[in-house]
Amino acid sequence: MARCTKEEALETRDRILDAAEQVFHAQGVASTSLADVAEAANVTRGAIYWHFRNKSDLFDAMCERVRLPMEAMAQADAHAEEADPLGRLRASCIFVLKETVRNPHSRKVFDILFHKCEFVDPADPIFARRREWFLRGTAHIERVLRNAIAKGQLPQDLDIHLARASMQAAIDGLLNNWLFAPESFSLDDNAERLIDACLDSLRYSPSLRKQKQGG
């Protein structure tokens, strides 16, 4: 009986997360209440509070279902002993782009993050979590770039901060633009070429090299 109860609880939790995904996407995060999610999931508000502390906690759990598999794949990129950090970074970035196209949950959650989050108050918990995720990604990419330089895959004089900002902006821009107008280009068909273009800029662009002082 206990096993059945646990399975039912997990099923209810997943149903709530699916409903949150649907309602956040349809109405926007700021305009959605827990009552809206409860109605869409066909559960009581009490059932939601049994699984999640508040809307911010629910939002975080919804994003984790998409983010955690991607983060798990990317973890090895930043290890100092990784023999091919740039190759692993390439594979991770391509996976994110293709997963956004092919996985309906990933596509909807990214669309919510890019286009359906209206929060502007830095003190808002959801705003703070989104900023934390961004900064975590920033630190991760910079570690990968340092490893790639150490392995001779990138120039020794690469400006790591500028290179990271350029690559991060390119990937965010690709996702943002495709989600906004999927018919404008094929993200799935061109994921490899688009990521290779980003990596080529790190290898060869003089503008991403450290500037010499003086002289």
Query: Which tens digit of pLDDT belongs to each residue from 138-186?
Result: 888 999 999 999 999 999 999 999 999 999 999 999 999 999 999 999 9
- 12 neighbors 43 (Cβ within 8 angstroms): yes
Would you kindly state where each structural domain of the chain is located, as residue ranges? 1-52, 62-208
Report, as an integer, the average pLDDT of 44-61: 93
Mean pLDDT within 45-69: 89
d(CA 149, CA 52): 43
pLDDT for position 4: 54
What are 158's strand-pairing partners?
Answer: 209
> Could you tell me which CATH number the domain at 62-208 has?
1.10.357.10
* 175-to-2, 45, 107, 152 alpha-carbon distances in Å: 43, 34, 9, 29
Span 152-164, pLDDT tens digits: 999 999 999 999 9
pLDDT at 214: 57
Give the total residue count for the chain: 215
> Is 141 in contact with 164 (CB distance < 8 Å)?
yes
pLDDT band at residue 1, thresholds of 50, 70 and 90? very low
In the predicted structure, residue 119 carries a pLDDT above the cut 80:
no
As a whole number of angstroms, the distance between CA 17 and CA 98 comes to: 23
CATH number assigned to the domain with residue range 1-52, chosen from the 4 options 1.10.3720.10, 1.20.120.420, 3.40.50.2300, 1.10.10.60 = 1.10.10.60
Q: Do domains 1-52 and 62-208 have the same CATH topology?
A: no
pLDDT tens digits for range 6-30: 888 889 999 999 999 999 999 999 8
Range from 46-55, 73-82, 154-163 carrying the lowest mean pLDDT: 73-82
- Average confidence (pLDDT) over 56-64: 92
